[in-house]
Structure 1
Amino acid sequence: MFSKKIIRDAGIGLFLLGLSNGAHAVTHLASVPKPKIGNVIFMHPDGTSVSHWTAARMAIAGPDGTINWDRLPAMAVYRGHMKNSTGATSHGGATTHAFGVKVDADSYGMDRDRALTALSGKPMSIMREALAAGLAVGVVNSGNIDEPGTGVFLASSRSRKDGQAIAEQIIYSGAQVIMSGGERWLLPKGVKGRHGEGERSDGKNLIDVAQTLGYTIVYNRDELANLPKDTKRVLGVFAHHHTFFDHPEEELQKQKLPLYVANAPTVGEMTDAALRILSNQGKRFLLVVEEEGTDNFGNVNNAVGTLEALRRADAAYGVARSYVQRNPATLLLTAADSDASGLEVVSVAPDVAMKPLNKTTHNGAPLDGRTGTQSLPFIAEADQFGNRLPFGIAWTDMNDGAGGILARAEGINSEALRSGSCDNSDVYRLMYLTLFGRSADSKK
């Protein structure tokens, strides 16, 4: 979300102002004596802390139940600070994931306004390096095409706000799979698309460009589901902006808007299609997946939207875990770079379960129920005793913080996360080890 930080307006700046090595952090990963080479699926449910997953578990399976996130066996506490900040921004945190070095918090695939050398010694992200090595790659996002959780793996810019330049780099990147919202940045002003009118000021039609580059273009769930099995390249354009409407509950009710675009595929459906297409390439692959609604709904303090986004993210874990079970030469790795708005589950006495919640907690924190402020509490699924208990969602603020985040993994080399804690740069290290069979720190 743009509201996280005030970002300077600036143009694209790939190699204009010198090269930065970023700040190299010490790894916290456990040793993997005989690393295995294979596929990597990195899933980034943006803004999700342990508290978010506690709320998700209650809503999906009950407080004693088990969700897909719980089933990822290897885990470590995630340390996510930036070069100049104790907490991460979405674009700065994603840049560290993609390049393996710590950068200024206001960075989108660069170190503020300087092009980056990755931890591997290459002047490119891990995804660009994978492409250069002949591997297949893909990005999936429930948000706009320029969302940094996936975007910085394929694009670099001096400003996160430069959506049209970022989108152009992604379309020309060579990635076999690109799925997201963001039709607004793919069409010129005045040109009507499937979801709305284009907003590009340079007159470029990137939909036409994608077609000439060999992409099959799909615009909704049905078209994605009906892709030919031998499809090699796909561009999914599933909304004008995000595939969700990230407004407070009361505003959505006023505008009669749903949480998510009805005919857009879920992040799990996109992930399933992406894995099928990447598997068709006959080579190792790197897939980066982001559910952006977990962050954006949290940052407007929309509890019901956050829970829906968490449900979708957890379903996507189920898709990815099934793939790993069928294709064991695969690493499934997940982490968030920050804690969106400090979500906390607040217990509610069972005898007041059918009464609207207070507007705030005792110390003034905003408190949400199932339809927003001063509404009925959420009801958890049954616990081991058959009780369905009420709860509310309280918020610390409307920004991202450095909350309690876990990195988790399953599949090859996942034992590296049995380390107690991991640095945000270790996300890159573990992906690199699995894709290339060597340590990124060796720079060979």
Structure 2
Amino acid sequence: MDAKPLRWLAATVTTGVLVAVGATTIAADASNERQRARSVIFVNGDGMGPAHREAARLALKGLGGQLVMDTLRVSGQLTTSPDDPTNPITDSAAGATAWTIGQRTYNGSIGYDVNKKPVPTLGFQAKRAGKATGLVTTAQVTDASPAAWFSNVPDRGQQDEIARQYLDISKPDVILGGGEDWWLPAGTPGAYPDKPAEDPTEGSRSTKGDLIAKARQSGYRYVSTPAQLQAAPNGKLLGLFSNQEMFQQREEGKGDVYSPVVSLATMTSKALSTLSKDRDGFFLMIEEEAIDEFSHNNNGTRMLQSMGELDKAVAVAKAYVAEHPDTLLVVTGDHECGGLTVEDTGTGDESGDAISREDGPFSIPGSPLKFNLDWTTPSHTGVDVPVTAAGPYAGQFTGKHPNTYVHEVLSKILTK
């Protein structure tokens, strides 16, 4: 027998040993993860599909660059289909509820199964398990995605009831974002006046009374400005920084504004510094809503801006995980919005075909090249969304999974 087959045989035997050792290592790692997993940071880029991430990478980091969210060591895919009697494409409510109760459900559902029965959500269960909990969003804090973690209503539009449940039932320790209108009765404006010039339809509308006053009575510190947020001590915290969303979603050049009073990264940093004081660990949900809203308006400029702000918040979370290896960080989207494609600028403009809408060109830093965005719908689509993760149990997100799988993984940390 010559040397070459012997080398092949040696490699085969060695590989076999490594596989056996690897299996043992995987089992040991799973055991170690159970021992060291304490907290979860879950990040939702609402409406963020694969093309959103690639477009943001090109526009913000250049041809050879990476978004922070794409540097996490594990990647996979999640499906997004709901269990809706009339629509195979999910909305944010059903998409987020699949994460929080582990079941597909109908569009509009917040913590309700397909039989319209409430199911305990992961945010509620984490609190019951003794962990601190919180949510940070550029949407209304009572909007579909955050609400699905901490409330149960059959219709996502019941935002004042969702706020009431936060205070009376699920009791998240930190609540930061927009939507002051849903916390105050009609005719009782708060820090943000009714009928602002940028959107006269906005105004206080709670049917559950003055929920800000109730929050204060329940021990929350209420803040509405950056200075107040910075000065807020540790403890229960409610911060509302706009009437509704913390931006104005419009088509480009038609009143579109993305200039939150407080950045998503700043709110994330404050939430982490507060929640991390709990010795039992915490759960924090972070959301950038503007990706979805500007995608509905096929506004590439603002979508890319909001993607950049999301990535800054991910950077804050990643830095925290680097210092606290007992924390799982997951970044994904509840669905894709806009049917987005990244195209060469030489591609023909299909804007006049009533199907596609060309957007751009957008510059790539460090390169003379540019790219276009092609929107195919102002609505959600059913494509899979990317998921990236780091920390204990991150490896379980490798591969393709239904969105309900999020519940399976996170519950191992949050409900024990």
**Bin of the TM-score, shorter chain as denominator length:** 0.7 to 0.9
Q: Determine which of 110, 116, 122 is the counterpart of 2:118.
A: 116
Contact 1:334 1:408 in 2 (8 A): yes
Do the aligned partners of residues 319 and 303 (structure 1) sit closer, same or farther apart at CA in structure 2, a change above 3 Å counting? Answer: same
Whether 2:365 is the aligned partner of 1:389: answer no
Residue deviations 1:386-429 (CA, integer Å, cap 9, x gap): x23122221010111112411111011111122x2121111111
Residues 394 and 326 (structure 1 numbering): CA distance in 2 closer, same or farther, change over 3 Å?
Answer: same
Q: Which runs of 5+ in 2 are unaligned?
A: 1-25, 195-202
One of 188, 191, 210 as aligned partner of 1:191: 188
TM-score, normalization by structure 1: 0.80
- Looking at structure 2, the residues matched to 189 and 343 of structure 1 have their Cα atoms a distance apart, in angstroms, of 39
> Which of 153, 158, 162 is residue 158 of structure 2 equivalent to?
162
Q: Is the 8 A contact 1:184 1:196 kept in 2?
A: no
Measured in 1, the distance between the counterparts of 2:391 and 2:355 equals 44
Tell which deviates more after alignment, 189-198 or 86-95. Answer: 189-198
Q: How far has the Cα of 1:111 moved from its partner?
A: 2.3
CA contact (8 A) 1:181 1:237 kept: yes
- SS of 1:287's equivalent in the other structure is strand
Q: Give the C-alpha shift of residue 436 in structure 1.
A: 4.0
**Cα deviation, residue 183, structure 1:** 0.5
Q: Which has the higher helix share?
A: 2
Q: For residues 201 and 146 of structure 1, do their structure 2 counterparts lie closer, same or farther at Cα, with a shift above 3 Å needed?
A: closer
Map Cα deviations across residues 323-352 of structure 1 (whole Å, 9 max, x no partner). Answer: 000111000012212111111122215xx9
**What is the correspondence of 1:348-359 to structure 2 with a 5 Å cutoff?**
348-349=345-346
| Superposed displacement of residue 367, structure 1 | 1.1
In structure 1, the residue matched to 2:83 is 83
CA contact (8 A) 1:176 1:232 kept: yes
> Which letter maps to 1:151?
A
Q: CA deviation at 1:63?
A: 2.0
**Residue from 399, 402, 420 that aligns with 2:379:** 399
2-side partners of 1:203 and 1:73: how far apart?
A: 45
Corresponding residue number in structure 2 for 1:240: 243
- Residues 106 and 208 of structure 1, relative CA distance in 2, 3 Å threshold: closer
The answer as to whether partners of 2:189 and 2:204 remain within 8 angstroms in 1 is no
Within 5 Å, which residues of 2 pair with 1:284-433?
284-349=281-346, 360=351, 364-369=355-360, 377-382=361-366, 387-418=367-398, 420-433=399-412
Which of 198, 202, 227 matches 1:222?
227
Query: How far 1:362 sits from its partner (Å)?
Result: 7.4
Q: Whole-Å Cα distance in 1 between the matches of residues 112 and 138 of structure 2?
A: 23
Tell me whether 143-152 or 81-90 shows the greater mean CA deviation: 81-90
1:266 Cα deviation after fit: 1.5
Residue pair 1:407, 1:422 contacting (<8 A) in 2 also: no
Give the drift of 1:112.
Answer: 5.1
Match of 1:20 in 2: none
User: SS of the counterpart of 1:43?
Assistant: strand
Asked if the contact 1:247–1:300 (Cα under 8 Å) also holds between the matched residues in 2, the reply is yes
Provide the residue aligned with 1:127 in structure 2: 123
C-alpha distance in structure 1 between counterparts of 2:277 and 2:368, whole Å = 45
Matched residue, 2:63: 63
Q: CA deviation at 1:306?
A: 0.5
Q: Indicate yes or no: 2:158 matched with 1:178.
A: no
Identity %: 27
* Alignment correspondent of 1:276: 273
Distance 1:423 1:258 in 2: 34
Question: Could you tell me which residue of structure 2 aligns to residue 106 of structure 1?
Answer: 108
Gaps of 5+ in 1: 1-29, 118-123, 370-376, 438-444
Aligned to 1:211: 216
Deviation at residue 201 of structure 1 after TM alignment: 5.1
CA distances 1:166-214 after superposition (whole Å, capped 9, x unpaired):
2221233311000110000011111121112353353610110111111
Question: Does the 8 Å contact 1:346/1:393 carry over to 2?
Answer: yes
Change (3 A) 1:275 1:361: farther
Report the secondary structure of 1:56's partner residue: helix
User: C-alpha deviations, 1:289-340, integer Å up to 9, x for none?
Assistant: 1110011110111111111110011111101000000111000012212111
Kindly state the Cα deviation for residue 106 of structure 1 after the two structures are TM-superposed: 3.3
Q: CA deviation at 1:147?
A: 1.4
Letter in 1 for 2:414: L
Q: Which has the larger radius of gyration?
A: 2
Q: Is the Cα–Cα contact under 8 Å of residues 327 and 391 in structure 2 kept in the other structure?
A: yes
In the TM superposition, residue 233 of structure 1 has moved relative to its aligned partner by: 0.9
Structure-2 change in CA distance of 1:73 and 1:203 (3 Å): closer
Normalising to structure 2: TM-score of the pair?
0.85
Question: Cα RMSD between the aligned structures?
Answer: 2.1
